[in-house]
Chain A
Amino acid sequence: MKLPSTLGRHAAKAFLSLLLVSAVTVLMNSMRDRFSTAIIALIFLLSVVLSTTLWGMWVGIFSSFAAFLEFNYFFFPPYYSFAVGRTEDIIVLVVFLAVAMVISNLVGREQKRYEEVQARERDATHLYELSIALTGLKEEKEIANVLVGHLIEIFQAARVEVVIQDADGKESIKVSLPKEAPALFGLYLTRFPLNTHRGDLGEIQLWTQKPGLSTLELHLLQTIASQAALSIERVYLSKAETRAKILEESDQLKTALLSSVSHDLRTPLASIEASATTLFNPQVNLEPEARVELQTILVEETEHLNQLVGNLLNMSRIESGVLKLQRNWNSLSEIVEAAFNRMRRQSRGFILENEISDDLPLIPLDSVLMEQVLINLISNSLKYAPKGSQICIEAHQADTDWVEVTLTNYGPHIPAEYLDHIFDKFYSFPNQVRVSGTGLGLSICKGIVEAHGGMIWVANLAEGIAFHMKLPIRSEGFQPSKPLKDLEI
């Protein structure tokens, strides 16, 4: 529906007030013998007050004149003429007009003030709601969305468009409402910049039915714009902070990596070099046992080096986000056996137990990476658990969606405050006897398990500790496996 024009609306109000005054005239005319002129004047004044209250000051003034004329025409001799006979009647009429005008003026002003107060209150509410909505937003896009939504409501605009530069200044984000652009013909455009001391961060564009905005509305728009600009700036700052933090972390990682490379890769290299050069030295007359011992060191430390390099590679892959899973239906028990097999030499003197039931469903896993997880957990257990103790892997289906895998060993308890941290990069908790290793093994486990959509944690048992993993049975493209009995075998 098209709203009537401002002029049309005023004319309609004036007409209504004219009707009201005329109604009073008709009513009073029918009872003119019973009332004195003074009473009639009061009733007319009442209609003026009513008009002013209902339709504003200007209509009030208009109705004052109308009342004045009708009062004069119908109720002062000579009747039915605008001429006035007596001087005192002239005074009465002039006073009536003056009083009517003053009243309509006063009432009108009061009315206007009241409306202004109401508008202010509305504005304050809008601003309050907007500032609440803007709090805690982390993306320019979210700010633009909130802003557009509020603007279209506050200004009853036909269309609102908000453009915001993103933090890098490379792209601008544009959001508009309604989604499909209406015909903008015949609408009035108001543009307002979003800026802070950094310069322009964007722009607000409002298309309205009426030409331009009132001073009050402009004030409101300005307040909204500066509030939005502050929010945008806050987003920029928090993004910059995040970037700085990431840089700092990757820097820390590199430093830690370097120190761990220099320590942990050199240690096995040192043993290898010492053993190899001794074996080759013609001046050293080695006992057969000593020879075997040195040869064993060569083999063991080479294996150790290989594992360290593998872990470093995996870590850098997880870190750089290029870790790609090759998921396939896999039997966890098979992967456990493969891991045991690869750890056969290192785990000599320990008892490795695979207690996974044959009924465990197949799980969509990357078998190579999951083997690495198990190897790292076993390797960790071998470092801390007493020689000759048992390391056991068990798994069961926890519910329809998850398989829970547990590796238990008889290693020493982990102080409660460190339980959450042992999966952090390069973490080895204080006062721990230094055991060789990069501190990467467990964080790689975490990275791989999380890439599978699972989780890993550690808990102390009455005796020993347990590594728990939860792995999803479903994943994209993999439906839960059918029970064996359903297959035609």
Chain B
Amino acid sequence: MNTAPRILVIDDEYQIQRAMRTILTQEKYQVFTASTGEEGLALAYASQPDVIILDLGLPDTDGIDVCRRLREWSLAPIIILSVRDSEADKIGALDQGADDYLTKPFSFDELLAHVRVALRHNAQSRGAKTNIIQAGRISIDLANHTVARDGESVKLTATEYKLLAYLASNAGRVLTHKAILTHVWGYADFREMEYLRVYVLQLRRKLEENPRKPQMIITESGVGYRFVA
């Protein structure tokens, strides 16, 4: 039996399907392709993919809707494909359970990088929940609520820790501003965006090697943040 990770690509553009299939097969993944939302949902059920790549502009159904219906039973990471300047769609899909997005046009490296992150994220969420998240020199102990750099404790305020813990336990996923505000502050009031920015800046100053060029808490322009472990 083939144990290579299974990837489902749902996109109505034949050339994109073709390129994806070629590139991903080359990297020794098993690739399934679907051209419509309904076909994609059926194939997802049949093939139980490890990662789903979903185009938001499908002919039959709304991509965001497909996202929601997939999430009803599947935990597989969903990577959205969208064109630039459609931030609202991206955010909608991410709030409906998508994990990540890729902006068309994208390069080979970008595609593979995102697929790898998704696979790792999938393995994490399936395996035993780890209590310690390691990102570079930083380790976050979710059980004991402590953060350390090279074993040396780093002092964080309660809100900073809450924010960091939420980002870190969703490592690899793009979290929208709304999701973060709701989770950390309890409500999504966009007037609080300013505080979110300030807390992120503060976390970066405390944890990043170079707060200017963050390696751990990455800004997703106009969408949200992503924690990279």
Contact = CB atoms under 8 A, between A and B. Distances in A.
Secondary structure dominating the interface of B: helix
A489 B202 contact: yes
Contact of A313 (B85, B105, B201, B221): B85
B212 interface: yes
Given A329-B193, A329-B197, A331-B197, 10 more contacts: A328-B177, A328-B190, A328-B222, A338-B219, A354-B212, A366-B222, A481-B194, A482-B194, A489-B157, A489-B199
A249 interface: no
A328 B194 CA distance: 8
A303 to B, nearest CB: 8
A366 B88 CA distance: 13
B221 A367 contact: yes
Contact of A362 (B197, B211, B222): B197
Interface string B75-88: 00000000011010
Nearest to A335: B221
B160 interface: yes
Given A337-B212, A337-B213, A368 B197 contact: no
Contacts of A330: 197
A317 to B, nearest CB: 9
Contact of A484 (B85, B87, B107, B198): B198
Size category of the B interface is 20 to 34
Contacts of B160: 489
A326 B194 CA distance: 14
A435 interface: no
Contacts of A132: none
A333 interface: yes
Interface string A467-489: 00000000000000110100111
A277 interface: no
B222 A487 contact: no
Given A306-B105, A310-B84, A338 B197 contact: no
Contacts of B222: 326, 328, 366-368
Contacts of A70: none
A313 B83 CA distance: 12
Interface of B: 84-85, 87, 105, 107, 157, 160, 177, 190, 193-195, 197-199, 201-202, 205, 211-213, 219, 221-222
Contact of B221 (A358, A368, A482, A488): A368
A329 B212 contact: no
Given A306-B105, A328-B193, A329-B194, A368 B219 contact: no
A306 B106 CA distance: 10
Nearest to B84: A310
A331 B87 contact: no
Interface string A332-371: 0111011000000000000000100010001000111001
Nearest to A306: B105
Nearest to B195: A487
A354 B195 CA distance: 23
Nearest to A481: B194
A331 B222 CA distance: 12
A325 to B, nearest CB: 11
A116 B85 CA distance: 73
A302 interface: yes
Interface of A: 299, 302, 306, 310, 313, 326, 328-331, 333-335, 337-338, 354, 358, 362, 366-368, 371, 481-482, 484, 487-489
A118 to B, nearest CB: 67
11 contacts: A299-B107, A302-B105, A326-B222, A328-B193, A329-B197, A354-B212, A362-B194, A367-B222, A368-B221, A371-B221, A481-B194
A333 B201 CA distance: 11
Nearest to A342: B221
Nearest to B202: A489
A107 B194 CA distance: 86
B87 A326 contact: yes
Contact of B201 (A331, A368, A488): A331
A488 B195 CA distance: 10
A41 B58 CA distance: 114
A489 B202 CA distance: 8
A447 to B, nearest CB: 14
B85 A368 contact: yes
A185 to B, nearest CB: 57
A354 to B, nearest CB: 6
**B194, B199, B219: most-surrounded residue (chain A CB, <10 A):** B194
Which of B107, B193, B222 has most chain A Cβ within 10 Å? Answer: B222
The 5 closest A-B pairs by CB, nearest first: A329-B194, A368-B222, A367-B221, A367-B222, A329-B193
A431 to B, nearest CB: 35
Contacts of B221: 335, 338, 367-368, 371
Given A362-B197, A481-B194, A484-B198, A333 B85 contact: no
A488 B160 CA distance: 11
A37 to B, nearest CB: 102
Contacts of B199: 489
Given A362-B197, A487-B195, A334 B85 contact: no
Contacts of A366: 222
A302 B221 CA distance: 22
Nearest to B196: A329
A482 B197 CA distance: 12
A432 B85 CA distance: 33
